[in-house]
Chain A
Amino acid sequence: MTPTHTMNRRPGSVSGSQAGTGLRRCLAVVTVLLVWLVGVSPVQAEVTPQRAQALLQALDTDDFEAKAEAAQAIAASDAAQKTRWLKTLLDGRLGRERDGERFYIITDDSGREWPIIDAITFEDAGTGSRRSVDTFRINNDLRTQLQRLIASLSLGAGDEATRLAAAKRLVGEVDAQSAESIATQLDNEESPAVRAELETALALYRVEQGDASGLATLRGNLDTRIRNSLADIANSDSPIAAQAGDVLAGIESKRAWYERGQTLFFGLSAGSVLVLAAIGLAITFGVMGVINMAHGELIMLGAYTTWMIQQLLPGQPGLALLLAIPGGFLVAGAFGILIERSVIRFLKGRPLETLLATFGISLILQQLVRTVFSPLNRRVNSPDWLQGAWQLNEALSLTLNRLGVLIFCLVVFAALWALMRYTRLGLEVRAVTQNRTMARSMGVRAARVDMLTFGLGAGVAGLAGVALSQITNVGPNLGQSYIVDSFLVVVFGGVGNLWGTLVAGMSLGVINQVLQPWVGAVLAKVIVLIGVILFIQKRPQGLFAPKGRTS
C-alpha cells in the first residue's frame, strides 16, 4: 500500500464507543483500498528486521484497541511477511517467546508440543509449547477487522468474488468522501453482480441524503440494512419520508412472503424427521400390531452405525455417510429380526406383555451402548455438501442438512411405498394386515412375513438414525427423544397406512413450526399433543383408515 492510505485511516481519533471506532476506521480503509486497489498490485519491499520486530512488538498488548492499531500498521507497512502475520494472528498461531524477544509462528497447533518457526525470518525454530510461547489473543471485533484487512490485502488479485464481498460491505457505509470514487469504480466495473451491489450502495447513500431518485433502485431489495435505513427515513421528517415508507411497505410485504416460505420449509423439514422416525413404526405397529418400545433404540443403532463407519473412513465423511445408508439399514434390521425371533414371536397377541418386553429391550440396548461406547455423545461429522445453507436471496435460505433430510425422507418413503405396492413381500404383508387367517390359508407363511416385516421396520428405523446423526446428538438417549413423537404420528396418521404417516408427520411438523414463534417450543408441543388427542376422540382410526372390514 502507499502512504496515502495510512493518511486516510488516521483521522478517526479514539473516542466514542470503543467497539465502534476501530470498526469504522477499518471500514474506511477497506473502502479506500477497494476503490484504489482494483488492478493495482502494490510493490512490496523488505523491511529491516528492526522494523519488523517493532511492528510485531506493537501486537504484544492486552488492549484490543491497541492491537487493532498495530494490525493496521502491519497492513499498511511494506513488510513482505505482513499477509502471513495477519493470517496467523487471525488463527491464533502468532506469538512471542515467553522470556525473550523473539516472535514465532506455530505451524501446527495440535497436540502439546508445537513445531514453530521464527516469525521474521521464517526459519525453523524447533518446538514450543504453551509454557514457552505466548500467543497473541484476538477478540471478535479484532477478528472482523483482521478479516477485512486480509481481504483488502488480497484485493490486488481482484477476483470477482472478492470484489463482490467488498462491494456488499459498502452498503450503508458510503459517505461523501467515498461516493465519488465508488461512482468511478462503477464505471469501470464489468461484473453485473458487483455493479448491482455498488449501485445499491450508492442509491442508499443518495436516499439518505434526501434524494428520491435512489428509491427506484432500492424497491424490493431484501437486504436488512436497506430496510433498517428506510425505516429510519420513513419515521423521520425527511421530505421523502412518505415515498420511503411506500418502498419500505413493498419490501416488508415481500419479506413476509419469504418468511412464510421459510416457515413452511422449517415445518416440512421438522415433519420429515418425524416421518422418518415414525415410518418404520407404521410398518411394525400397523402390520403386526406390535407396540415396539425399542423402536427409538433401533434409530440410535442406525446413528451409531454412521459414527462407526466414519471412524473406519477418517477424512471421508461424505463417503461414510453414503455407506452408512445400507449399513444402518442392515445393522438395525438385523437387531430387529433378532428381537422378533427371540422375544416378540413368543408374545403374539399379548400387547401388554409385548409393550413391557420391548421396553425392557430398549433399556438393555441403551445400557449396552453406554457400556460399549461410553455414555458420552459421539461426534458425527457432516460432509461439506450438508453444511451451510442454500441462500436463495437475502430473506430466504434453506439449510442444507435439513434439506438433505427432507429429500432423504421422501426417497425412503417412495422406496417403501413401491416395495409395498409392487413386490411379492409387499403383497404378502398387505394380505397379512388385512386378514391374517385368510392369508395363511392362501399359503402365505405368516411367521416369515412377520419376521421380515419387523426387520424391514427396524431397518427403516436405522435409516432414520443415519439421517438424525446429521442434525442431532448421537448418544445413548437419542432414541428416547423420538419414540413418543413416533407413536403420535402413527396414531394420528392411521395405523398401518404409509400415506397417513407421511401426511400426519408433515402436518404435525408444520403446525408445530407455525405455533412455535407465538407460544414457544414447550407450549407448541403441548398444543399439538392436545390437538391430536381431541382428534383421536373424534376419529379413532386416524387420518387415513384402513379400507375394508377389520377382523
Chain B
Amino acid sequence: MQTSSDVVAGYHDNSVHWRCNNNQTRKESFVNKITSTAALLLSMGIALPAAAQEDTIKVGILHSLSGTMAISESTLKDELLMLIEQQNENGGLLGKQLEPVVMDPASDWSLYAEQARDMLTGDDQVDVIFGNWTSASRKAVLPVVEEENGLLFYPVQYEGEESSENIFYTGAAPNQQAIPAVDYLMSQGVERWALLGTDYVYPRTTNKILEAYLKDHGVADDDIMINYTPFGFSNWQSIVAEVKDFGSQGKKTAVVSTINGDANVPFYTELANQGVSAAEIPVIAFSVGEQELSGIDTGPLVGHMAAWNYFMSVDSDANYDFIDNWVEFTGNDMAVTNDPMEAHYIGFNMWLEAVRKAGTTDVDAVKDSIIGVSVPNLSGGSSAMMPNHHITKPVMIGEIQDDGQFSVVWKSAGTIAGDAWSDYLPESQNLISDWRAPLRCGKLNVDTMTCEDGAGAE
C-alpha cells in the first residue's frame, strides 16, 4: 500500500496508463543474467516457451514495472527472479524447476486484477503469485484470487482490518510497526504527537488506530495534531513551521509520519532547511526505507527514525549473505535492500516449505500446510505463518545515518505476531481471524462467536 511512489497516484488516475508493457526495467540488473531477448519476453508478460511445460512450477510475479509504482516495485520483481534462480540452482522444488511468469500491471489498479485473473486462468495457470504494493491494488486483486482460488503473497506493511483466505500478508500489520514505534517514543519521553500523513486509506486507518491508542494512554486532545496532504505534495513550508510551533510549547514532541512516496523528499529537505533536528523534534516514519533515502542527502536528517521489521544494516550472517547475493545479482555495488524485500524473502521460503510439506502445489493443500511453517528471516531469527495469514516478525526502530542507512536503536524482545483486526478500534476489537480447519473464518466475532466472512460463515 505504500511508500515510494504511491506518489502522484491521485494525480495520475486520470492520465493514460501504458497498457503496452515496456522493457524499461533496470537494465544493468538483469541483462547480464538473462539474455536480452528473454528479458524482453519476460517483461512483456509472455512466459518463456519452456521445453517441457508440465515439468515446471509457475511462479507469478505481479509487480508494476512502469508507471508511478515502478520506482518501488521493479526492485521486488528483480528480487524474486533472483530467489527463483537460486532455488533452481539448488535443485528446484519437488524435483521440478521453477518458472517465473512476469506481468506488468503498469501502476493501474484495475490492471492488477485483470492480470491476476490472466495468470490464474490463462495459458500459464500459475501456482502462486507474489505481488502488489499499494493497498488499492491489493483490494483490486482480492476478489480475483478468492474467486479463482489462487495464492497471493503481499509483501508490504499495510493498515490491517483485512484477512483473506487466499492472501498471505508478509508485511507488517499496524501492531507490528506503528504501535511499537509509538511505545518507543513514549519511553523516550515524548508527550506531544504530530501525526502527518498522505491522504488515503493507509495513513488514515493507521492514524485512527494511533489516535485511539494515544488517548488510551492519557494523551490529551490538545497534544495530538493530525494533518493530511495530497500525494506528491511538495510545498511543506507552512506545515513544517506549524509542527515547529507545535513542538515549541515546552513538551517533548515527535512527528509520526505516514507520508508516502515522493512527498518525503521535499518534506525532509524542508525539515533540514528550517533547522528541525532530530534532537528537538524527531520524526518517525513508517514508509521511508533505504530505497527512499537513496534519493536524499541524509546529512541533516541524522537521528530521524523509521520503524520496520528489517533494516539493511541488521547484523546477521543471513542478512550479509543476502546482500552479497543481491549485489552480485544486480551487478550494482550500491544496490540497497529493504523491508518489503525481506518480506518476499520470507514469503517465498514459506511457500517453498509449505509445498514441500504438502508434497504438491495444490492451492488448498498449501493453504493448510503453510500455517505454522517457520522459516529463517534476515535478522537472525525466524518467522512463522499464523492462522490469520499474518506472520511473526521482530520490530525494529532505526535512526537515519549520514550514509543513508539506519542504525538499529531498539529491537523488540522477540517476534510479534501480526494482528489482522486492530484491538484499538472499537469496530474491530472483538474480531479475530483463523483459517485453520474447523473454523475457517476471516472475521470471527469472539463475543457472539459468529463468523462474518469466510468458509466458516456458511
Give A380-395 interface residues, CB cut-off 8 Å to B.
Answer: 381-382, 387-389, 391
Q: Given B262, B275, B313, B399, which contacts A377 in the complex, CB threshold below 8 Å?
A: B262
Do the beta carbons of A18 and B234 come within 8 Å of each other? no
Q: Given A19, A375, A472, A521, which contacts B265 in the complex, CB threshold below 8 Å?
A: A472
Check if B92 is an interface residue, CB within 8 A of chain A.
Answer: no
Give the CA-CA distance A374 to B274 in the complex, in Å: 31
Check if B242 is an interface residue, CB within 8 A of chain A.
Answer: yes
**A92 and B70 contact, Cβ closer than 8 Å, known pairs A269-B237, A475-B262, A477-B7:** no
Give B388-441 interface residues, CB cut-off 8 Å to A.
Answer: 399, 401-403, 407-409
Do the beta carbons of A388 and B71 come within 8 Å of each other? no
Give the CA-CA distance A521 to B234 in the complex, in Å: 11
Do the beta carbons of A92 and B238 come within 8 Å of each other? no
Contact code string A262-281 (vs B, CB < 8 Å = 1, else 0) = 11001001100100000000
Residues in B whose Cβ lies below 8 Å from that of A512: 235
Give B209-233 interface residues, CB cut-off 8 Å to A.
Answer: 227-230, 232-233
Do the beta carbons of A522 and B237 come within 8 Å of each other? no
Give B188-217 interface residues, CB cut-off 8 Å to A.
Answer: 188-189, 199
Check if A134 is an interface residue, CB within 8 A of chain B.
Answer: yes
Check if B239 is an interface residue, CB within 8 A of chain A.
Answer: yes
Do the beta carbons of A224 and B282 come within 8 Å of each other? no
Q: Given A139, A388, A399, A480, which contacts B8 in the complex, CB threshold below 8 Å?
A: A480
Do the beta carbons of A387 and B273 come within 8 Å of each other? yes
Check if A162 is an interface residue, CB within 8 A of chain B.
Answer: no
Do the beta carbons of B274 and A471 come within 8 Å of each other? no
Residues in B whose Cβ lies below 8 Å from that of A371: 22, 24
Residues in A whose Cβ lies below 8 Å from that of B5: 477
Give the CA-CA distance A262 to B241 in the complex, in Å: 9
**A397 and B74 contact, Cβ closer than 8 Å, known pairs A377-B262, A379-B295, A480-B11:** no
Give A266-300 interface residues, CB cut-off 8 Å to B.
Answer: 266, 269-270, 273
Check if B110 is an interface residue, CB within 8 A of chain A.
Answer: no
Q: Given A231, A473, A513, which contacts B295 in the complex, CB threshold below 8 Å?
A: A473
Give B270-297 interface residues, CB cut-off 8 Å to A.
Answer: 270, 272-275, 278-279, 282, 294-297
Residues in B whose Cβ lies below 8 Å from that of A424: none
| 9-residue interface stretch from A140-148, A341-349, A493-501 | A140-148
Check if A13 is an interface residue, CB within 8 A of chain B.
Answer: no
Give A135-180 interface residues, CB cut-off 8 Å to B.
Answer: 137-141, 143-144
Do the beta carbons of A143 and B302 come within 8 Å of each other? yes
Residues in B whose Cβ lies below 8 Å from that of A263: 238
Check if A351 is an interface residue, CB within 8 A of chain B.
Answer: no
Give B360-379 interface residues, CB cut-off 8 Å to A.
Answer: none
Residues in A whose Cβ lies below 8 Å from that of B15: 363, 480
Do the beta carbons of B279 and A472 come within 8 Å of each other? no
Do the beta carbons of B273 and A137 come within 8 Å of each other? no
Residues in A whose Cβ lies below 8 Å from that of B233: 521
Chain B residue with minimal CB distance to A369? Answer: B24
Chain A residue with minimal CB distance to B324? Answer: A112
Do the beta carbons of A522 and B295 come within 8 Å of each other? no
Check if B30 is an interface residue, CB within 8 A of chain A.
Answer: no
Residues in A whose Cβ lies below 8 Å from that of B237: 266, 269-270, 399, 402, 513
Do the beta carbons of B234 and A481 come within 8 Å of each other? yes
**A471 and B238 contact, Cβ closer than 8 Å, known pairs A134-B315, A137-B407, A401-B273:** no
Do the beta carbons of A19 and B188 come within 8 Å of each other? yes
Do the beta carbons of A399 and B12 come within 8 Å of each other? no
**A397 and B189 contact, Cβ closer than 8 Å, known pairs A130-B315, A375-B74, A376-B295:** no
Chain B residue with minimal CB distance to A468? Answer: B234
Tell which of B230, B269, B272 has the most Cβ of chain A within 10 Å: B269
Do the beta carbons of B273 and A400 come within 8 Å of each other? yes
Q: List 21 A-B contacts (CB under 8 A).
A: A137-B408, A140-B278, A231-B250, A263-B238, A269-B237, A270-B235, A367-B24, A370-B70, A371-B24, A375-B67, A377-B295, A378-B295, A379-B296, A388-B275, A389-B273, A391-B275, A471-B266, A471-B269, A477-B12, A480-B11, A521-B229
Give A residues with C-beta under 8 Å from B.
Answer: 17-20, 64, 91-92, 109-112, 130-131, 134, 137-141, 143-144, 224-225, 227-228, 231-232, 262-263, 266, 269-270, 273, 363, 367, 370-371, 374-379, 381-382, 387-389, 391, 397, 399-402, 471-473, 475, 477, 480-481, 512-513, 516-517, 520-522, 525
**New A-B contacts (14) at CB < 8 Å, excluding given A140-B279, A475-B262:** A18-B188, A18-B189, A19-B252, A109-B403, A228-B250, A270-B235, A370-B66, A376-B71, A376-B295, A377-B265, A377-B295, A477-B262, A517-B242, A521-B233
